[in-house]
């Protein structure tokens, strides 16, 4: 750690009763060190800190630098002390020993990462700090409950994507211009003012050693190159183009290796250039419209970026453009059951990313993303959009135009259900006329649509709004209404 002397001096200024910091002047009982690592890591998680520390060579009482002769390279049997510790600590233990000199005296710092997902244990026991004392967690049931709740609430987007950066390095890695341009906010003009703003907005955090960490949500949105951030380098949006309707017809692919604040617009430009367009008359003006409504495509891609599960390694959003459809896939499954995805309130897996994108007017954060996709596809008379859960991933499919007669029975049923949902959230019921309008069919198709409605009722997707209404006044609602 390049800034280790500054870190030690910063830690010396802290309260001696801090739960995430322990000072030792010299050697210590090895069992006690193992227990302390568990306690400090767990306390750091409880307090919302990224790191905890043990420092040898500093007085616990006065915080004066005394120097230390303690060496973590000592052996226990045929193991080094560090290997011995790792064998007895749980797998989520993250720590490292760092040596430095302060005031000409040797100091040893043990940097401990916070516990993640599960409590960090030593010899399968859980410890916690009470003031400056290490105690067994089970002795404090109320504190234990609070701690376990805090562990479950930890969000991957808030963890660090890069640490130990100077202000100039932070601003060199990030492009914050889209944030201020799209949110219509004045941009700080000096480096110091910009860093203070990023810290205040919780986009960057100031470390104990005076350097800075960049949060994952910040890197994902504003990285000049996502490849510069190891934890999110595989989260770049990937565009794959096919010349036909199957994956064997791969044409070419692109990886948009930049933060989503600019990548979303770039993705939309590339899709628009690749898909077919048709000419329509808008009054006296002839204009081109794309095969897929841009608001629906944009919403599908933005949703994939916002709702992906950042804890799943591998690819981020993948957008595949075929001749007859667009597939948008992201890691992670929906947080709302699929049949209720139109009417249920929003549940964002990455609330920080969603909030920032809303500030930049890139999404509404109102839980209407899927509603907008369905609405735009209905307005364009396209087959019903489809959402599928495939293992740990979610895939949204926007189908290209197809005449009603060539739409499969399954796709027709999906269109009926979605139209019933859309009508219901608008306070109306599905009717023969509304469904004909959705499919772009004339009044002469009323009998065919009546048969389709009857089939949808028979499968349990929809039901009469008022079973006593006459045939001409019959309306239908989703099965759950």
Full pLDDT tens readout for the chain, 481 residues? 568 888 999 999 887 668 999 998 876 788 999 999 999 999 999 998 889 999 999 998 899 999 998 888 878 888 888 899 999 999 999 999 999 999 999 999 999 999 988 999 999 999 999 988 999 999 999 999 999 988 876 678 888 899 989 999 999 999 999 999 999 999 999 999 999 999 999 999 999 888 999 999 999 999 999 999 999 999 999 999 999 999 999 999 999 999 999 999 999 999 999 998 776 655 666 667 789 999 999 999 999 999 999 888 778 999 999 999 999 999 999 888 888 888 777 677 888 898 899 899 887 655 578 889 999 999 999 999 999 999 999 999 999 999 999 999 999 999 999 999 999 999 999 999 999 999 999 999 999 999 999 999 999 999 999 988 888 889 999 999 8
Is 434 found in the same domain as 349?
A: no
The verdict on 241 and 386 lying in the same domain is yes
**How many whole angstroms from its chain centre is CA 39?**
29
Long-range own/partner contacts, residues 358-366 (CB < 8 A, 24 or more apart): 359/179, 359/182, 359/183, 360/178, 360/179, 360/182, 360/183, 360/261, 361/182, 361/183, 362/182, 362/261, 362/264, 362/302, 363/299, 363/302, 363/303, 363/306
> Domain residues for 389?
236-399
| Consecutive H or E run containing 471 | none
21 and 79 belong to one structural domain: yes
Could you give the count of Cα atoms lying within 13 Å of 154 in the half-sphere of its Cβ?
A: 24
Domain stop point among 399, 423, 441: 399
Q: Which of 444, 442, 446 minimizes the C-alpha distance to 431? A: 446
Do 408 and 385 share a structural domain? no
What is the number of alpha carbons within 13 Å of residue 360 lying toward its C-beta?
A: 22
Point out the domain boundary residue: 207, 231, 255: 231
Asked whether 45 and 52 are in contact (CB, 8 A), the reply is no
Cα–Cα–Cα angle for 236, 238, 240, nearest 5°?
A: 175
- The encoded tokens of residue 11 equal 């830690």
326: β partners: 321, 398
Specify whether 241 is located in the same domain as 388: yes
Contact between 99 and 106 under an 8 Å Cβ cutoff? The reply is yes
438 shares a domain with 423: yes
d(CA 93, CA 164): 20
For residues 240 and 382, state if they share a domain: yes
Are both 112 and 139 inside the same structural domain?
Answer: yes
CA dihedral 35, 116, 11, 191 (to 10 degrees): 170
Question: In this structure, are 271 and 176 located in the same domain?
Answer: no
Q: What are phi and psi of 126, to 5 degrees?
A: -100, 135
State pTM to two decimals: 0.82
Domain boundary among 231, 256, 285: 231
Q: Is the domain of 31 the same as that of 94?
A: yes
Tally of domains in the chain: 4
Same domain? For 169 and 118 the reply is no
Q: 249 and 381 in one domain?
A: yes
Cα separation, 463 vs 380, whole angstroms: 26
The CATH number given to whatever domain includes residue 107 is 3.30.950
């Amino acid at each position: 750690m390049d800034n280790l002397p500054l870190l030690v001096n910063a830690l010396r200024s802290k309260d001696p009763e801090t739960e995430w910091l322990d000072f030792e002047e010299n050697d210590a009982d090895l069992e006690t060190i193992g227990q302390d690592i568990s306690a400090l890591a767990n306390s750091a998680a409880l307090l919302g800190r990224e790191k905890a520390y043990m420092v040898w060579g500093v007085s616990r009482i006065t915080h004066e630098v005394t120097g230390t002769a303690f060496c973590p390279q000592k052996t226990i049997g045929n193991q080094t002390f560090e290997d011995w510790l790792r064998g007895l600590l749980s797998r989520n233990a993250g720590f490292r020993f760092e040596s430095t000199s302060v005031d000409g005296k040797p100091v040893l710092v043990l940097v401990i990462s916070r516990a993640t997902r599960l409590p960090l244990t030593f010899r399968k026991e859980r410890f916690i700090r009470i003031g400056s004392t290490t105690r067994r967690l089970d002795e404090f049931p109320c504190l234990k409950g609070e701690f376990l709740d805090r562990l479950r609430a930890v969000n991957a987007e808030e963890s660090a994507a890069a640490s130990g950066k100077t202000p100039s390095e932070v601003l060199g890695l990030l492009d914050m211009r889209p944030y201020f341009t799209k949110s219509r906010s004045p941009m700080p003009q000096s480096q110091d003012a910009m860093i203070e703003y990023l810290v205040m907005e919780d986009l960057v955090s100031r470390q104990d050693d005076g350097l800075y960490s960049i949060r994952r949500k910040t890197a994902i949105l504003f990285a000049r190159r996502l490849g510069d951030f190891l934890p999110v380098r595989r989260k770049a949006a990937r565009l794959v183009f096919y010349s036909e309707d199957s994956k064997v017809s791969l044409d070419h692919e692109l990886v948009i290796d930049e933060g989503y604040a600019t990548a979303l617009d770039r993705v939309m430009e590339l899709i628009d250039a690749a898909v077919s367009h048709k000419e329509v008359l808008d009054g006296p003006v002839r204009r081109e419209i794309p095969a897929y409504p841009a608001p629906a495509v944009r919403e599908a891609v933005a949703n994939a970026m916002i709702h992906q599960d950042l804890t799943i390694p591998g690819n981020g959003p993948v957008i595949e453009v075929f001749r007859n459809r667009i597939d948008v896939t992201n890691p992670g499954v929906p947080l709302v059951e699929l049949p209720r995805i139109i009417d249920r309130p929003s549940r964002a897996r990455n609330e920080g990313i969603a909030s920032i994108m809303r500030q930049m007017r890139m999404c509404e954060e109102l839980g209407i993303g899927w509603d907008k996709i369905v609405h735009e596809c209905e307005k364009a008379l396209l087959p019903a959009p489809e959402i599928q859960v495939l293992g740990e991933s979610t895939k949204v499919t926007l189908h290209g135009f197809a005449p009603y007669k060539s739409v499969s029975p399954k796709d027709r049923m999906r269109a009926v259900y979605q139209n019933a949902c859309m009508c219901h959230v608008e306070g109306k019921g599905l009717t023969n006329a509304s469904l004909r309008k959705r499919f772009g069919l004339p009044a002469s198709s009323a009998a065919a649509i009546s048969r389709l409605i009857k089939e949808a009722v028979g499968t349990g997707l929809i039901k009469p709004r008022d079973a006593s209404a006459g045939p001409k006044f019959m309306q239908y609602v989703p099965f759950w209404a």
